[in-house]
Structure 1
Amino acid sequence: MSIPHSRALRAKAGTDLILATKPFAKDDPWRSWWAILSTGFLLIGALAGTLWLVDLPARLVCSVLAGLLLTRSFVIYHDQQHHAILPRSRLAEGLMQVFGLLALSPSSVWRSSHNHHHNHNSKLRGSHIGSYPIMTTEQFKRSSRSRRFGYLFVRHPLTILCGYVFMFLYGMCVNPFLNRPARHWDCLLAIVVHFAISAALVVYGGWTTLLVTQILPHFILHAIGAYFFYAQHNFPGVSFKDKDGWTYEKAALESSSFLRTGPVVAWFTANIGYHHIHHLNARIPFYRLPEVLRAIPELQSPKTTSLHPADIVRCLRLKVWDVETQRMVGVSGL
């Protein structure tokens, strides 16, 4: 019994655990540029296939592939916005800002809301900015019917599936611009560019071209993005805290899941499933996250979920935080 006890004494926790990840928070510019350029090249090829191939099934295959490559590109964009990759490259910053506009995730909104999310992850108060809102069972019971409807609407599976419209087009573009137009002028630019591209595609190749080149790839990107973000912070075993007892590292390990996937899905999602590590240190490049998991034993037993249908259903059933049982529950019977 003495050996496990001595190991427990040496186990890293708190600030020491964060410090243990710092050696991995180093960008390899060549590797980062290869990820950007190779993914971009494949994406352009897939989109060209949606435009120029004659056979509709082949165009649909290219459209799905484009959606998956957009997903990988989005996580790379996400890493660059965290300054995890190419933090001093003006060229990378410019390219990523253009991508943010095209992906309906303008940099001004993404950085402010996502940084807030990282700094308030798992808090019962203040975590709704840049994240799914969270109510306790008591708050839900006391809420008006309209507020309950709005809360459940945001968390509804169909709303998550249609993240293209609700989370990104409206949530990341229309709403921020209407609320703070001077600060989020790039949101208006993203909307204008998006619909200008849509109009050009209709003129060029008709409604089918709009569907396979613009709508389906964006639908795939934003559905995957909306669900991954949901499941990484709304899963069986997740923990929420009020101000007392909240620490950054506890929020990373107890309120951010490790979403298990196979290597193909991990590639298309640029390792975003290693979310507990990403939240512990957002400056770690996505391509080093598996390396961190292998190197630090304290990170090897995370709270997990997966893309198995049963796990997806378990996550989607969770609606409110029960303070008494300290777990997420559904709303049936409340």
Structure 2
Amino acid sequence: MTNIKTLKKEVAPYEKSTTKESVWQLINTLGPFFLLWFLAYESLSVSYWLALVPIILAAGFLTRIFIIFHDCTHYSFFKSRKVNRAVGTAMGIMTLFPFDQWGHDHAVHHATSGNLDKRGTGDIWTMTVDEYRAAPLKTRLAYRFYRNPFVMFILGPIYVFLLKNRFNRKNARKKERNNTYFVNLVLVVLVTLFCLTLGWLPFLLVQGSIFMISGAFGIWLFYVQHTFEDSYFEEDKEWEYVLAAVEGSSFYKLPKAIQFLTGNIGYHHVHHLSPRVPNYKLEEAHNNTKPLQNVPTISLMTSLSSIKFKLWDEERKNFVTFKAAKVQKSARITPQAKPEL
């Protein structure tokens, strides 16, 4: 890729947020979400299946709310850090994420994405072929369980959003711990109020369904944007931030409606190159920066193949399936020569 060293400078002009655009995005995201939530609740009196239509649409808008939260943790959505914190905390309550805790882990993810020696924080558990082969049976079984699509996209949101996010990480600072406690307290109060006023079953049917759909979709987005065949992983001594951003983060080319609901996060290569670019400027930065148009591109259909990729092959520099890794191992084992008589 040409001009690799100047890419960050070329994207820098798009790093400034626009208050008008940020406020408008809040309006065109929160407004439809609350309206769809109300329609889903009212539809329950007829049928859950009828309510499922606004529920699915609301799940899309909740994904968009998460992208706003995500931008706020990068302090890229508004010019003021205080406003980013306030709005981000509110959006975090809606998406079940503590602002400071997730902001810390996600910052580590950006600083270490694609670095084989610094895996484990804010990323998806990824093993290399050699690590998997050398691992004890219990570790291999745990990894296969973790990488199972049902576990990752169905059980994953329940574990991460409902359970993991409720507890502080080890060595968290006081400010971060207090933010987690505050988010948890507000959630308890809000859920209690909704259950008392609307009834626990209608609330669970609507909010629970929205949560599961948006949660599965959100994890899928995060997964597919770094797990594609020719991604980027290097040991620390060879790792480069810009290469990790533009080669290890996909350009997920989505239909316009889905692109809107996902807050342009499909332009993930631009976001990793410069996290300070607000989501509503990612497409513009991509279109006006020629080298970025040659990054790994996946579509909605081709992205489905990412489900099969499980292990990173350090020799071939690509993701492979469990089956392919097994075949490669067998191919490397050559039979011993028969002794001469």
Structure 2 counterparts to residues 15-26 of structure 1, below 5 A: 16-26=6-16
The CA distance in 2 between the partners of 1:216 and 1:188, in whole Å, is 25
Residues 69 and 87, structure 2, Cα contact 8 Å, conserved in 1: no
Going from structure 1 to structure 2, the CA distance change for 1:80 and 1:280 (only over 3 Å counts) comes to: same
Match of 1:106 in 2: 98
Task: Find 1:69's aligned residue among 57, 61, 79.
Answer: 61
Residues 153 and 159, structure 1, Cα contact 8 Å, conserved in 2: yes
Q: CA deviation at 1:61?
A: 1.9
Return structure 1 stretches of 4+ with deviation > 6 angstroms: none
Counterpart code for 2:203: L
Task: Give the CA RMSD over aligned residues.
Answer: 2.2
Residue-pair matches, total: 321
- Partner SS, residue 312 of structure 2: strand
Counterpart code for 2:85: E
Q: CA deviation at 1:171?
A: 3.3
Residues 136 and 321, structure 1, Cα contact 8 Å, conserved in 2: yes
Residues 231 and 248, structure 2, Cα contact 8 Å, conserved in 1: yes
Task: Find 1:43's aligned residue among 33, 37, 42.
Answer: 33
Going from structure 1 to structure 2, the CA distance change for 1:325 and 1:91 (only over 3 Å counts) comes to: closer
Q: TM-score, normalised by structure 2?
A: 0.86
Task: Find 1:233's aligned residue among 218, 226, 229.
Answer: 226
CA deviations on 1:123-166 (whole Å, 9 max, x unpaired) are 11222200002211111112122222332333221122223212
The CA distance in 2 between the partners of 1:63 and 1:193, in whole Å, is 23
Is 2:288 the partner of 1:298? no
Task: Find 1:270's aligned residue among 263, 272, 276.
Answer: 263
- Partner SS, residue 236 of structure 1: coil
Residues 64 and 220, structure 1, Cα contact 8 Å, conserved in 2: yes
Question: Quick check: 191-200 or 49-58, which moved more?
Answer: 191-200
Q: Please, which runs of 5 or more residues in structure 1 have no aligned partner? A: 1-7
Match of 2:312 in 1: 321
Q: TM-score, normalised by structure 1?
A: 0.88
Q: CA deviation at 1:95?
A: 2.5
Q: CA deviation at 1:68?
A: 0.8
Q: CA deviation at 1:51?
A: 2.8
Going from structure 1 to structure 2, the CA distance change for 1:330 and 1:188 (only over 3 Å counts) comes to: farther
Residues 73 and 84, structure 2, Cα contact 8 Å, conserved in 1: no
Q: Please, which runs of 5 or more residues in structure 2 have no aligned partner? A: 330-341
Match of 2:3 in 1: 12
Match of 2:247 in 1: 254
The CA distance in 2 between the partners of 1:31 and 1:102, in whole Å, is 21
Residues 59 and 211, structure 2, Cα contact 8 Å, conserved in 1: yes
The CA distance in 2 between the partners of 1:52 and 1:72, in whole Å, is 23
Counterpart code for 1:258: F
- Partner SS, residue 252 of structure 2: strand
Counterpart code for 2:313: D
Counterpart code for 1:237: D
Match of 1:4 in 2: none
The CA distance in 2 between the partners of 1:177 and 1:101, in whole Å, is 18
Look at both structures and tell me which one has the larger radius of gyration over its CA atoms. 2
Q: CA deviation at 1:101?
A: 2.4
Match of 1:136 in 2: 128
